[in-house]
Amino acid sequence: MEELTFKIEDFEGPLDLLLYLVGKNKMNLYDVNIMALIDQYTAAIQTMQAHHLDIASEFIDMAAHLVQMKSALLLPRSPEAERMKAELTGRLIEYSTCKEVAAKLGGRARDLYTAVRQPMPLVGAAEYTRPHSPAALVQAWYGLMGRSLRKRKPTQERFEPLVTAPFVSVSSRVTHMLRGLLKGTLARMGQLFSREESRSTNVATFLALLELVRAGRVTIGEGGSLHLDRTHHSRKEGAAHE
């Protein structure tokens, strides 16, 4: 990797440094190579630390956030990694747009005649006297910095319903549906799903219905009516004898 020679003072913040790396590597801002970007950013911070350069805390905080994102991206099909990737991409696009607008406004301001006057005297006390709790001030600070409060670690009680949820197999729901169709107690799709059943049961039921339709054992008519093909088994046996 090419060694970076810039100083941290050259950038207004971590997003400015990330945007510089995007341009330096000629990446598409709407399709950034996140892994390469993370590696280059963390390498730049480590190089500055090795040379005992003063680094603002926000740059260190972004480096820690990117390392966490890289760990999540290494996991297969991680929704949290996709969320973090989309959030970072959105922040970079928003920051890039703001820089472009600021540059255009700055160019227009340099070409305009500017007149100034003496500041108007303040009316009333200049001090802000409204009381606020420390928690509200911390929340306001994170809002101004474009960050969000770290999520609390999930408690064991939140994982209990996921871990202890009963396992429902698709094959058991296939058997249940065929039995109901043969007995005549099942005739419509509306009878398959119930809010009283667990999510695992409803998902397994849906997958079982898809499998039966794909295999030609069940057809779905108008209004969600279900029809069992009773000749399917005999046709299958006849084809096997041939």
Q: What is the mean pLDDT of the chain?
A: 77
The mean pLDDT of 200-226, rounded to a whole number, is 86
- Range in 56-70, 140-154, 176-190, 196-210 the model is least confident about: 140-154
**pLDDT at residue 153, as a whole number:** 61
pTM reported for the whole predicted model: 0.39
Q: Band of the pLDDT at 1, cuts 50, 70, 90?
A: very low
162-200 burial string, b = 16+ CB within 10 Å, else e?
eeeeeebebeebbebbbebbeeeebeebeebeeeeeeee
Residue scoring higher pLDDT (159 or 111)? 111
pLDDT at 178 over 70: yes
The mean pLDDT of 147-161, rounded to a whole number, is 58
DSSP 2-45: PPP---GGGSSSHHHHHHHHHHHTT--TTS--HHHHHHHHHHHH
Q: Band of the pLDDT at 156, cuts 50, 70, 90?
A: low
Residue scoring higher pLDDT (74 or 235)? 74
Question: 46's torsion region: left (phi>0), alpha (psi -120 to 50) or beta?
Answer: alpha
In sign, the C-alpha dihedral spanning 107, 109, 112, 114 is negative
- The share of the chain scoring above pLDDT 90, in percent, equals 0
From the number of C-beta atoms within 10 Å of its C-beta (0-12, 13-18, 19+), residue 19 rates as buried
Note the pLDDT tens digit of each residue in 14-52.
Answer: 888 888 888 888 888 888 888 888 888 888 887 777 765
pLDDT at 155 over 50: yes
Note the pLDDT tens digit of each residue in 95-123.
Answer: 888 888 888 887 776 777 667 788 887 77
- The class level of CATH for 170-241 reads mainly alpha
125: three-class secondary structure by DSSP: coil
Q: Which helix (H) or strand (E) holds 68?
A: helix 57-73
As given in the structure block, the two tokens for residue 231 are 């000749």
Residue scoring higher pLDDT (11 or 225)? 225
Contact 42, 54 (CB under 8 A): no
pLDDT at 135 over 80: yes
As given in the structure block, the two tokens for residue 171 are 């094959």
Residue scoring higher pLDDT (163 or 115)? 115
**pLDDT at residue 235, as a whole number:** 52
For the chain, give every domain's residue range: 8-113, 170-241
CA distances for 219 relative to 121, 145, 206, 232, angstroms: 81, 57, 14, 12
